[in-house]
Amino acid sequence: MSKPPTLKSFKLALIQLGNISANKSENIKHAREMIIKAASAKPDLIVLPECFNSPYGHVHFPVYAEKVGFTPGEPYDIEKSESDSVKMLSSAAKECKTWLIGGSIPERDQKSEEVYNTCTVYNPRGELVAQHRKVHLFDIDIPGKIKFKESETLTGGSTLNFFDTEFARIGLGICYDVRFPELAMISARQGCQVLIYPGAFNMTTGPLHWELLQRGRAIDNQVYFSMCSPARDLNAGYHAWGHSLVVDPMGKVVSEAEEGEEIIYTDIDLQVFNDARAGIPVTKQRRFDVYPNVFV
């Protein structure tokens, strides 16, 4: 494992994207416009929400799926990409000279044809540098409230993923992944100082769990934790909670969107990170002699 970059203060932009319709090319076009808009405030990193190019629903995933064909550690030729979303995200990152976490899209594996919920990441040169396939699929059934089964059409990813910038090591997850503290804890143990999960909670669990889970993951690991949601659209089949959020390593909510389309900016502050870890030194007090060694 390489040494993580030393955390530096940086500016984060979350795009709580609205107007996600049945028209994929319109969705891609609108996401591009919003990236350009977000970049006008000169953030170092821009984030899109889960499933930004397609309506959110298991019936839609195979229809909207694109072949990305990225292999970690191998160079990726954007010109030869079969994915319109990847091409747009790459060119927008390059044009804005910014890091970009491209939310997620339904992705079809080039060999197996299995469909994943996949996040791709771009550096300021527009190179595709990392990918995360949602590991834990959103299969829930709360009678009378919400039933959702991603596993009807999606396959879960099987790798943990992070990427290094000049200002931080950033760990990735997607939405339901936040409910599994192991994922965040392993990312933090691998040196991530910031964890960012595109997500789309719903109107039942959103009010109860969205903020609580993120504050929990932030405090457990003394990291900045953030999730970027689509805007709420009551005409859509799935009603997203919205409230894109950034939580600091003390568990304090430092930025929060409302329900509609919005861009929120946050200064990720090195001093806050260092003070949290110095004041409550849990990262140095872990008792690996007592725990089973899964997290060592």
Ligand X SMILES: NC(=O)CCC(=O)C(=O)O
Which residue, 87 or 179, is less far from ligand X as judged by CB? 179
Which range of residues in 9-17, 99-107, 157-165, 193-201 is near ligand X by CB under 6 A? 193-201
Which range of residues in 32-40, 87-95, 175-183, 223-231 is near ligand X by CB under 6 A? 175-183
Which range of residues in 71-79, 156-164, 165-173, 197-205 is near ligand X by CB under 6 A? 197-205
176 touches ligand X (CB under 6 A) = yes
E strands within 70-145? Answer: 99-101, 105-108, 115-122, 128-133, 139-142
175 touches ligand X (CB under 6 A) = yes
State the catalytic residues.
50, 134, 175
Which range of residues in 91-99, 202-210, 228-236, 264-272 is near ligand X by CB under 6 A? 202-210
How far apart CA 273 and CA 288 sit, in angstroms, is 23
115 touches ligand X (CB under 6 A) = no
Min CB(204)–ligand X separation in Å: 7
How far apart CA 179 and CA 251 sit, in angstroms, is 16
Strand order across the 224-228 sheet: 161-164, 169-172, 194-198, 224-228, 245-247, 253-256
Task: State which of positions 137-156 bind ligand X (CB under 6 A).
Answer: 138
16 touches ligand X (CB under 6 A) = no
The backbone torsions φ and ψ at residue 189, rounded to the nearest 5 degrees and listed phi first, read -65, -25
Angle at 38 (CA atoms; ends 18, 192), nearest 5 degrees: 95
Contact (Cβ atoms closer than 8 angstroms) between residue 128 and residue 90? yes
Which residue, 201 or 273, is less far from ligand X as judged by CB? 201
Min CB(176)–ligand X separation in Å: 3
14 touches ligand X (CB under 6 A) = no
How far apart CA 168 and CA 12 sit, in angstroms, is 12
Token pair 């195979």 in the structure block, residue? 62
Q: How many helices and strands, by DSSP H and E, does the chain display?
A: 7, 15
Which residue, 176 or 273, is less far from ligand X as judged by CB? 176
50 touches ligand X (CB under 6 A) = yes
Sequence-distant (≥ 6) Cβ neighbours of residue 293 within 8 angstroms: none
Q: Which of 59, 49, 47 is nearest to 22 (CA)?
A: 59
3 state SS of 45: strand
# residues contacting ligand X (CB under 6 A): 11
Contact (Cβ atoms closer than 8 angstroms) between residue 169 and residue 195? no
E strands within 68-178? Answer: 99-101, 105-108, 115-122, 128-133, 139-142, 146-149, 161-164, 169-172
225 touches ligand X (CB under 6 A) = no
197 touches ligand X (CB under 6 A) = no
Which residue, 59 or 280, is less far from ligand X as judged by CB? 59
Min CB(111)–ligand X separation in Å: 26
- Return the residue of 19, 205, 255, 283 that touches ligand X, per CB under 6 A: 205
- Return the residue of 161, 202, 244, 266 that touches ligand X, per CB under 6 A: 202
Min CB(54)–ligand X separation in Å: 12
179 touches ligand X (CB under 6 A) = yes
Q: Which residues lie near ligand X (CB under 6 A)? A: 50, 138, 175-176, 179, 199-202, 205, 209
